Amino acid sequence: MEEPRKVSFLTFFVMWAKVMGWKVPHIHVIVCTWLETCDDPVRVLMIFRGAAKSTIYAVFKAWQLYCNRANRSLIWAADGKLAKKLSRDTLNVLRRHPLCGGMLPSKPGAQTFWVNGATDARNASVDAVGVDQNATGARADAVDFDDIEVPKNIKTPEARENLRLKIEESTHIAVPGAQKTYIGTPHTHNSIYTEQIEGGAAVLKLPLFEHSKRYGAEKSDQGRTRLPFPFKPGPDGLYVLAGIGKFAKMLKEGEDYKLDGQCVVLPRPLNVVIDIYAGCVWPERFTRAEVEQRRKDTRTLNGWDSQYQLEAKPVGDTRLDPDRMIPYDLKPTVHYANRQAIMMLGKVQIVGATCRWDCSLGKVKSDASAFSLVLTDAKGNLYWQVAEGLTGDLDEQCKRVKELVLQYYIPAVKVETNGPGGFIPPRLRKFLAGTGCAVVDDHSTVNKQKRILDAFEAPLSMNVLWAHVSVIDGPTYDQMKDFNPLSTNQPDDYLDSGAGAIADTPVRIGQIVGNPTEHQTHPWRPSAGVHEIEFETS
């Protein structure tokens, strides 16, 4: 009896979508067709984050076994846990798909399993390993690199080279005629995906938006009210995004801007980074509200570009422009109004404050003992009020911290406990006893260069970072101007303390700071409600 004709992968996927209750968008049709018809030995599948590329690929692995039970696949991911996700997903499809009945034994493994009818007892139908695990001796008809490149393994040129050395083993694992597929998004300009494409690999690249134009990244863009774009709006119109991180906002036509042909017209210069997009490839899922939220949740422009537009630039090209800080020469004061103490910075009411002390004890080649205070108003503007280097022994530094606490009504001091800072909080608490100021320990595990970029890029891009003239006139300006994200040996202590204070914003303050019998201070921060950061365009 003739064996029934196997269905196409698109048909197989649509049947699975029906089981799962999914609607199949056009972008998934494109991916399914490409996966089945592209028979190049090396291929790269790059789709923006959240587009379900790994989910689709798990169904594809099940379809390959449905078509040929002798097929052997090695799934390689950044670590074993990630690799296991794809193998378990494939297993779930084989267990529940209408066309895969009887393909699995009674107790298949989750990470390594054989289907009924497999012909190789040594090499599994599906085997999933992390790049840090040993795969020597394995053989496969398909090697699948699923998110092989992640932030933790591409931080430095050495890490990227080490990753390449590890996956070279795939050359010896793949049998003659095998196919290698790289699935993921680029996390660095020197990406494995880019390298494979330049080497001749077949590629399907689907960014979130087909067309884009950016303004505000260069000084020449500042002050503009007419922003032309070299493409036509799609059926769903334009997506105009201002800023990045928690300061980002989706601008609305007719409210924040007008459309004049192929030109966005602003009522006044915004002097912030503005991206104009058209041609969303999945508008049903990625609504304007969803895009805005993801933009807010992405800390840097490079992070957005790499994960949603599939374009990553060299981290070393990133520079923090100190001239985008807005100088001011005011100090906060506390006043009474309507029986309530309020803090004012000139005519602006301050509603929050964060403080960071990265302590150093003055050893040779050590960082400065940097103390930063950042204030915030209800609109989300940040005011870098203090960036001071403390000197002397530990007790002298603690005395100076107390002076600053009482001078600026600081409610809490966060102390970095990495290195020599581990024993400082208990000592500082003794000096601050009776002031009402808390001491918070903080042990950071995030790369310092990444911390600085993540904290500063968003407020600088939105022009909401103000700096007291003493901050600009001190070492901070040069440290920001010369900052190199790839260097681990550079003066960046003031940036690090400032970044910590910015990252902690906002902090609610609801207690008196200082000893009322010695130094009268006031609970100046509003106690009702949570202040949302909003971007105003009028």
Q: Which of 43-57, 104-118, 137-151 has the highest mean pLDDT?
A: 43-57
Residue pair 386/373 in contact (Cβ under 8 Å)? The answer is yes
pLDDT at 537 > cutoff 50: no
Mean pLDDT along residues 516-534: 46
Q: How confident is the model at residue 509 (pLDDT cuts 50, 70, 90)?
A: very low
Q: Which residue has the higher pLDDT, 538 or 478?
A: 478
Count Cα atoms within 13 angstroms, Cβ side, for 183. 25
Integer Cα distance of 41 and 35 in angstroms: 12
Beta bridge partners of 340: 337
pLDDT band, residue 131 (cuts 50/70/90) = confident
Distances (CA, A) of 349 to 157, 375, 523: 46, 10, 13
Q: Per residue in 215-251, pLDDT tens?
A: 976 666 667 899 999 999 989 999 999 988 887 899 9
d(CA 477, CA 209): 36
Q: Which residue has the higher pLDDT, 484 or 101?
A: 101
CA separation for the pair 390, 367 (Å, rounded): 11
Span between the terminal Cα atoms of the chain, in Å: 75
Q: What is the overall mean pLDDT for the chain?
A: 85
Distance CA 415, CA 419 (A): 11
Instruction: Indicate the SS3 state at residue 385.
Output: strand
Residue 150: the pLDDT is 76
Is residue 519 scored above 50 in pLDDT?
no
**Over residues 473-487, mean pLDDT:** 86
- What is the H or E stretch that residue 455 is in? helix 448-461
| Per-residue pLDDT reduced to its tens digit, 260-296 | 999 999 998 877 889 999 999 999 999 999 999 999 9
Q: Is the pLDDT of residue 508 over 60?
A: no
- Sequence-distant (≥ 6) Cβ neighbours of residue 364 within 8 angstroms: none
Name the residue with higher pLDDT: 104 or 158: 104
User: What CA–CA distance (Å, rounded) separates 280 from 240?
Assistant: 12
Which DSSP symbol is given to 10?
H
Least confident of 42-56, 90-104, 271-285, 336-350: 336-350
% the chain with pLDDT above 70: 86
- Tell me which residue of 302, 334, 296 sits closest to 316, measured CA to CA: 302
Model pLDDT, residue 106: 82
Burial of 326 (C-beta count, 10 Å sphere; 0-12/13-18/19+): middle
Which of 39-43, 157-161, 206-210 comes out lowest in average pLDDT? 157-161
According to the CATH classification, is domain 9-206 in 3.10.20.30? Answer: no
Confidence band of 315 (pLDDT split at 50, 70, 90): low
- How is domain 322-503 classified at the CATH fold level? Nucleotidyltransferase; domain 5 (3.30.420)
Q: How confident is the model at residue 364 (pLDDT cuts 50, 70, 90)?
A: very low
Neighbouring C-beta atoms of residue 459, cutoff 10 Å: 25
Q: What are phi and psi of 328, to 5 degrees?
A: -150, 160
Check residues 319 and 251 and name the one with the higher pLDDT.
251
196 phi-psi bin (left φ>0, alpha ψ -120 to 50, beta other): alpha
Q: How far apart are CA 12 and CA 61, in angstroms?
A: 11
Using 50, 70 and 90 to split pLDDT, how confident is the model at 169?
Answer: confident
Per DSSP, the three-state class of 276 is: strand
Structural tokens at position 248? 């980002």
Confidence of residue 98 (pLDDT cuts 50, 70, 90): very high
The residues spanned by each domain of the chain are 9-206, 209-313, 322-503
What is the reported pLDDT for 213?
96
CA distance 326 to 468: 8
pTM: 0.73
Structure tokens at 404: 């600053």
Q: Which of 335, 330, 332, 331 is nearest to 522 (CA)?
A: 335
pLDDT at residue 246 in the model: 80
Give the DSSP H or E segment for 535.
Answer: none
